[in-house]
């Protein structure tokens, strides 16, 4: 089965289109208003969260409902590294990811003693414990939280516009890096094993895929990027607070909605899901929380029609993914020439 | 017997498998010599597939030990045994449905065979050609027919270049010509140095290729000899062939 020329052309067009969007977005602060830049930064960070949930649930079969733990850890680490340790912003943001990664190691040891539904509940409990602990750290504002000090805010930019432009670029940079790196992970040996796991876990083990190691790699990978996103979210909100920084609803529940609507088990699904989620949220903002009912109804409908989400529907006409993580067979060079 | 045991590639010592009160394998002793083609027959429910699951590491045996290549692998995970050289096919195919046929075999070569992605690509192509699936290479595995899915099971296992290959009823439903092609593939794999244990109901296929045949019945081995001798055995005929005809 070879793809027709028009289909190949369409795929190239879509890929160039995606690239063009990223390039245009890079110039966003030149023409966007402050409010729009803030919204875009939130969307970029949500995309990072959705991709990480997608990596865990869609490939490694780790259905976590506790990923807000690492977002919160990243936020608190950022506060500590800037306000307490006095590190520069770039170092502190990277440090937030590193702290989340390091703390993920003992969490892995606890959570991975469980499987399936127990693991899901386990991640939730761990996140709740983290939230509680965060409110008990002396000097971090307790349960009411604390605002980032003036020098940290000034380091982001001299005025509001500069601050949000920088936050916009940092978030855009993070989403691009997170997606590129995850795509490369999925293309690697580890990724080939993950796709096999996604499709049939027992058979993946039988062809030599180390299920335990693969899961741990994914979990740590997600923790790193969730921590980075958490650090940037603290900068975006200008404050940390246990309930808000470790928000189950904002950083796990909505993210799961987005990932499921968009399509679990594909990179494109995470992007589309977040866009649909934020789009609906804004379209129905006049009807208070009515959008949540639409979101719920939509996700149920999509799961019934196509378990692989909106991207699964689109893939019925597209021959391959836009962001290629598979290893397509291109045929023997000599043979193809001989045939054509 | 002792000398044969120490030189065995696979050695099952007193292996039992119980599910609750149901005993599926009963203190089984079985040694497979390197370079052998061992056929396993037995009526449905005799414990044949359970035996493979115990050898591959899907099920931990209730009792007994498994020695592979001189090492005790009883506590080893499935993927460790696979990397040590145990490859298997599933009687009910378990493809990686959303991956292409090519990627299915490539994944097996990368992980079970331990080769680089680049090497795995070449090997996958070679194995697909050998198993007659190359024209399906770009297809998503879930779109394959049952017959092709069975071929893919074999292709995945061959992609690993296993030292011990466990084949679970791969000849069922084949025409005579297809069966001959399959036998040719198995023979070639054997010549290249793979030891083969083959569970099969298609007796004539097994008879033509196996150097030794055992009969599993009620979780025990009731015969262990050359195929001709086993199939001539009165007891085997009554418990097994008698049931079929």
pLDDT in the model for residue A338: 35
Asked if residue A318 is part of any domain, the answer here is yes
Average pLDDT per block of 10 residues along chain B, 245 residues long: 64 91 90 94 87 92 92 93 94 92 96 93 94 92 90 94 94 88 93 94 90 90 90 84 54
Residues of B with CB below 8 A from A204's CB?
Answer: 96, 107, 111
Segment holding B187, helix H or strand E: helix B176-191
Angle at A200 between CA A199 and CA A205, to 5 degrees: 130
A210:B79 CB<8 A: yes
Instruction: Give B222's contacts (C-beta < 8 A, 6+ positions apart).
Output: B215, B216, B235, B236, B239
For residue A318, report the phi and psi dihedrals to the nearest 5 degrees.
-90, 135
pLDDT in the model for residue B241: 62
CB contact, 8 Å: B162 with chain A?
no
Asked if residue A193 is part of any domain, the answer here is yes
For residue B19, report the phi and psi dihedrals to the nearest 5 degrees.
-110, 100
Nearest CA-CA distance, residue A294 and chain B, Å: 30
**How far, CA to CA in Å, does B158 sit from each of A189, B89, B125, B196, B245?**
18, 10, 12, 12, 34
B97:A200 CB<8 A: yes
CB contact, 8 Å: B133 with chain A?
no
CB contact, 8 Å: A212 with chain B?
yes
Per-residue confidence band for A322, with pLDDT thresholds at 50, 70 and 90: confident
Which one of A1, A196, A329 has the shortest CB-CB distance to B107? Answer: A196
Measured distance CA(A222)–CA(A156) in Å, rounded: 26
Nearest CA-CA distance, residue A191 and chain B, Å: 10
Which one of A2, A192, A205 has the shortest CB-CB distance to B79? Answer: A205
Asked if residue A335 is part of any domain, the answer here is no
Output the average pLDDT for chain A. Answer: 89
Question: In 3-state terms, what secondary structure has residue A139?
Answer: coil
Interface probe for B, chosen from A8, A206, A312, A315 (most Cβ of B below 10 Å), is A206
B95:A203 CB<8 A: yes
Return the minimum-mean-pLDDT range out of A38-42, A105-109, A112-116, B29-33: A112-116
Measured distance CA(B126)–CA(B148) in Å, rounded: 16
Interface probe for B, chosen from A58, A208, A263, A326 (most Cβ of B below 10 Å), is A208
For residue A320, report the phi and psi dihedrals to the nearest 5 degrees.
-150, 170
Which one of B58, B103, B116 has the shortest CB-CB distance to A326? Answer: B103
Asked if residue A331 is part of any domain, the answer here is no
Residues of A with CB below 8 A from B107's CB?
Answer: 192-193, 195-196, 204, 207, 209
Tokens 């109804």 sit on residue: A297
Please state the separation of Cα A333 from the chain's center in Å.
38
Structure tokens that stand for A154 in this block: 């000034």
Asked if residue A161 is part of any domain, the answer here is yes
Measured distance CA(B234)–CA(B191) in Å, rounded: 33
Domains, chain B: 2-85+162-244 (3.40.50.300), 97-161 (no CATH)
Measured distance CA(A260)–CA(A300) in Å, rounded: 9
What range does the domain containing A76 cover? 13-323
Tokens 């590129």 sit on residue: A180
Structure tokens that stand for A3 in this block: 């793809």
Instruction: Give B46's contacts (C-beta < 8 A, 6+ positions apart).
Output: B216, B217, B218, B219
CB contact, 8 Å: A36 with chain B?
no
* Structural domain count, chain A: 1
Q: What angle in degrees, to the nearest 10, is found between the helix axes of B117-130 and B146-159?
A: 130
Residue A181: count of CB within 10 angstroms of its CB: 13
pLDDT in the model for residue A332: 66
Residues of A with CB below 8 A from B100's CB?
Answer: 326, 328-329
Nearest CA-CA distance, residue B92 and chain A, Å: 11
Q: Which residues 249-278 in chain A show a CB within 8 A of chain B?
A: 265
Nearest CA-CA distance, residue B133 and chain A, Å: 13
Q: Which residues 43-82 in chain B show a CB within 8 A of chain A?
A: 56, 58, 77-80, 82
ipTM: 0.89
Residue A12 has pLDDT above 80, yes or no: yes
Asked if residue A329 is part of any domain, the answer here is no
Asked if residue A309 is part of any domain, the answer here is yes
CB contact, 8 Å: B97 with chain A?
yes
Average pLDDT over residues A146-169: 91
Residue A125 has pLDDT above 80, yes or no: yes
pLDDT in the model for residue A292: 77
Using CA of residue A244, residue A249, residue A255, residue A258, what is the dihedral sign? negative
pLDDT in the model for residue A289: 75
Residue of B nearest to A213 (CA): B79
Straight-line distance from the first to the last Cα atom of chain A, in angstroms, rounded to the nearest whole number = 14
Tokens 């977002």 sit on residue: A71
Burial class (CB in 10 A: 0-12, 13-18, 19+), A36: middle
Residue of B nearest to A196 (CA): B96
B110:A192 CB<8 A: yes
Interface probe for B, chosen from A213, A329, A330, A333 (most Cβ of B below 10 Å), is A329
pLDDT in the model for residue A282: 85
Q: What is the CATH number of the domain that holds A165?
A: 1.10.3470
pLDDT in the model for residue A326: 85
Tokens 């990923």 sit on residue: A67
Residue of B nearest to A203 (CA): B94
Measured distance CA(A55)–CA(A68) in Å, rounded: 15
Question: In 3-state terms, what secondary structure has residue B200?
Answer: coil
Nearest CA-CA distance, residue A277 and chain B, Å: 26
Question: In 3-state terms, what secondary structure has residue B23?
Answer: strand
Residue A335 has pLDDT above 70, yes or no: no
Nearest CA-CA distance, residue A164 and chain B, Å: 41
Measured distance CA(A268)–CA(A43) in Å, rounded: 14
Average pLDDT over residues A95-109: 95
Asked if residue A338 is part of any domain, the answer here is no
Which one of A192, A200, A265 has the shortest CB-CB distance to B106? Answer: A192
Residue A2 has pLDDT above 80, yes or no: no
Residues of A with CB below 8 A from B121's CB?
Answer: 327
pLDDT in the model for residue B3: 41
CB contact, 8 Å: A8 with chain B?
no
Q: Between A327 and A4, where is the model more confident?
A: A327
Measured distance CA(B242)–CA(A13) in Å, rounded: 65
Residue A58 has pLDDT above 70, yes or no: yes
Residue A3 has pLDDT above 60, yes or no: no
Over the stretch A246-274, which tens digit does the pLDDT of each residue have? 999 899 999 999 999 999 888 999 999 99
> How long, in residues, is chain A?
340
Q: What is the DSSP string of B211-241?
A: SEEEEEETTEEEEEE-HHHHHH-HHHIIIII
Measured distance CA(A177)–CA(A196) in Å, rounded: 25
Angle at A43 between CA A39 and CA A48, to 5 degrees: 150
pLDDT in the model for residue B6: 59
CB B51 within 8 A of CB B221: no
**8-state DSSP, B18:** E
Per-residue confidence band for A141, with pLDDT thresholds at 50, 70 and 90: confident
A195:B102 CB<8 A: no
pLDDT in the model for residue A340: 31
Residue of B nearest to A325 (CA): B99
Interface probe for A, chosen from B98, B119, B140, B163 (most Cβ of A below 10 Å), is B98
| E runs forming strands in chain A | 146-147, 239-240
């Amino acid at each position: 089965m070879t793809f027709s020329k028009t289909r190949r052309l369409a795929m190239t067009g879509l890929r160039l289109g995606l690239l063009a969007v990223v390039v245009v977005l890079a110039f966003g602060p030149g023409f966007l208003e402050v409010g729009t830049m803030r919204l875009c930064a939130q969307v970029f960070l949500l995309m990072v969260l959705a991709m990480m949930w997608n990596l865990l649930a869609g490939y490694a079969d780790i259905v976590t409902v506790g990923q807000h733990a690492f977002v919160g850890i990243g936020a608190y680490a950022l506060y500590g590294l800037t306000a307490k340790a006095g590190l520069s912003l770039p170092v502190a943001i990277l440090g937030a990811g590193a702290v989340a990664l390091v703390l993920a190691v003992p969490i892995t040891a606890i959570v991975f003693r469980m499987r399936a539904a127990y693991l899901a509940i386990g991640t939730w409990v761990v996140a709740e414990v983290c939230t509680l602990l965060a409110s008990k750290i002396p000097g971090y504002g307790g349960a009411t939280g604390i605002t980032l000090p003036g020098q940290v805010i000034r380091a982001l930019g001299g005025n509001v516009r500069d601050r949000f432009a920088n936050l916009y670029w940092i978030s855009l940079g993070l989403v691009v890096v997170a997606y590129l790196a995850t795509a490369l992970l999925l293309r690697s040996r580890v990724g080939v094993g993950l796709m096999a796991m996604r499709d049939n876990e027992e058979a993946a083990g039988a062809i030599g895929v180390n299920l335990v190691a693969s899961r741990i790699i994914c979990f740590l990978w997600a923790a790193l990027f969730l921590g980075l996103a958490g650090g940037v979210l603290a900068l975006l909100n200008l404050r940390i607070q246990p309930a808000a920084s470790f928000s189950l609803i904002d950083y796990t529940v909505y993210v799961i909605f987005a990932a499921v609507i968009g399509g679990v088990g594909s990179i494109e699904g995470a992007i589309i899901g977040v866009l649909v989620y934020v789009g609906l949220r804004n379209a129905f903002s006049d009807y208070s929380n009515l959008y949540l009912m639409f979101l719920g109804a939509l996700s149920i409908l999509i799961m019934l029609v196509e378990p692989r989400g909106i991207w699964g529907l689109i893939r019925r006409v597209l021959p391959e993914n836009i962001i290629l993580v598979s290893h397509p067979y291109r045929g023997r060079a000599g043979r193809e020439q001989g045939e054509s | 017997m002792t000398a044969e045991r120490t030189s065995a590639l696979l050695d099952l010592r007193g292996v039992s498998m119980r599910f609750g009160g149901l005993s599926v394998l009963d203190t089984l002793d079985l040694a497979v010599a390197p370079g052998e083609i061992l056929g396993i027959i037995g009526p449905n429910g005799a414990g044949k597939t359970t035996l493979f699951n115990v050898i591959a590491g899907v099920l931990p045996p209730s009792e007994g030990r498994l020695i592979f290549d001189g090492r005790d692998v009883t506590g080893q995970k499935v993927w460790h045994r696979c990397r040590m050289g145990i490859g298997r096919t599933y009687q009910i195919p378990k493809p990686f449905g959303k991956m292409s046929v090519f990627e299915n075999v490539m994944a097996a070569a990368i992980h079970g065979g331990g080769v680089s992605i680049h090497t795995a690509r070449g090997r996958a192509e070679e194995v697909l050609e050998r198993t007659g699936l190359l024209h399906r290479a770009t297809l998503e595995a879930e779109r394959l027919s049952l017959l092709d899915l069975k071929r893919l099971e074999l292709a995945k296992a061959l992609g690993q270049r296993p030292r011990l290959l466990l084949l679970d009823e791969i000849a069922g439903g084949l025409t005579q010509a297809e069966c001959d092609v399959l036998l040719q593939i198995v023979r070639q794999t054997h010549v290249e140095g793979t030891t083969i244990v083959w569970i099969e109901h298609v007796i004539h296929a097994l008879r033509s290729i196996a150097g030794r045949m055992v009969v599993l019945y009620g979780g025990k081995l009731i015969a262990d000899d050359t195929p001709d001798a086993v199939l001539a055995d009165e007891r085997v005929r009554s418990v097994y062939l008698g049931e079929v005809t």
